[in-house]
């Protein structure tokens, strides 16, 4: 784990400005909250080229960059939901599907009409009892923002000794400062060596950088923590 200071607030702000900032954030985030990215953590261009040929579609630059950088890192892509591998990408009702909810209850994609953009908008599609009512709905305005939010969420949902889970609190103590809004219906808070995510108002999840930081979190936030 990287002991250098990582400025979450500044990195998230840069992510919102463009995809170069997004990939810089993922590198710093992965190293600070887990392990640095390595050469084997992404997919090769040949695998992405093969996906393009199979689909007969252009893969946007942002998608290719994300897959090359960290597409194989399970802690950032598939702790809960799943980033599809290049050979699993498929088209559904006018969108290229790249991510699936862990029980198939939702999917995320890029509209085919957006594929010409380097960093296209994304959409989401809930799985409904009446499939005839399913529609793609707007998600994030840029793919790079969507996958950075994915990486943060998946890291906090990782089955790890330094992660914990609870029902959302109305308000966190003042020691936890709120970070920029990044990711649809996600709120992020930073405490002493702890990152807390409140996801869609149904789950609060946290990642600490050490056992002592996790203990302090449990004392500071008297929620019904799974491990507390």
pLDDT tens digits, 114-168 = 999 999 999 999 887 667 778 999 999 999 999 999 999 999 999 999 999 998 8
Helix 8-17 to helix 143-156 angle, to the nearest 10 degrees? 150
Cβ of 67: how many Cβ atoms within 10 Å? 26
The least confident of 79-93, 105-119, 197-211 is 197-211
Higher pLDDT among residues 47 and 223, named by residue: 47
| pLDDT interval class at 84 (50, 70, 90) | very high
DSSP codes joined into one string, 60-97: PHHHHHHHHHHTT-HHHH-SSSEEPPGGG-EEETTEEE
CA angle centred on 121, ends 120 and 122, rounded to 5°: 120
**Residue 50 token pair:** 């093969």
Q: Residue 218's pLDDT is what?
A: 94
Say what the pTM is. 0.94
Judged against a pLDDT cut of 70, whether residue 1 lies above it is answered with no
Return the CATH number of the domain spanning residue range 8-150.
3.40.1580
Confidence of residue 95 (pLDDT cuts 50, 70, 90): very high
How do residues 179-226 score in pLDDT, each as one tens digit? Answer: 999 998 889 999 999 999 998 777 899 999 999 999 999 999 988 999
Mean pLDDT of the chain: 93
């Amino acid at each position: 784990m990287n002991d250098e200071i990582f400025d979450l607030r500044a990195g998230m702000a840069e992510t919102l400005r463009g995809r170069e900032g997004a990939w810089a954030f993922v590198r710093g985030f992965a190293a600070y909250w887990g392990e640095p990215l390595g050469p084997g953590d992404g997919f090769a261009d040949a695998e992405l080229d093969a996906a393009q040929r199979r689909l007969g579609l252009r893969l946007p630059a942002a998608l290719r960059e994300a897959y090359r950088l960290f597409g194989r890192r399970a802690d950032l892509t598939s702790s809960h939901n799943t980033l599809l591998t290049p050979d699993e990408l498929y088209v559904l009702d006018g969108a290229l599907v790249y991510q699936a909810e862990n029980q198939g209850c939702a999917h995320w994609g890029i509209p085919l009409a957006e594929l010409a953009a380097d960093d296209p908008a994304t959409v989401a599609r809930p799985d409904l009892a009446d499939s005839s009512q399913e529609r793609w709905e707007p998600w994030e305005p840029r793919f790079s923002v969507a996958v950075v939010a994915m990486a943060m969420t998946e890291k906090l949902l990782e089955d790890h000794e330094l992660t914990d889970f609870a029902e959302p609190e109305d308000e966190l103590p003042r020691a936890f400062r709120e970070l920029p809004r990044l990711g649809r219906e996600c709120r992020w808070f930073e405490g002493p060596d702890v990152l807390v995510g409140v996801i869609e108002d149904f789950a609060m999840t946290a990642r600490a950088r050490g056992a002592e930081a996790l203990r302090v979190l449990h004392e500071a936030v008297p929620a019904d923590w799974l491990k507390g």
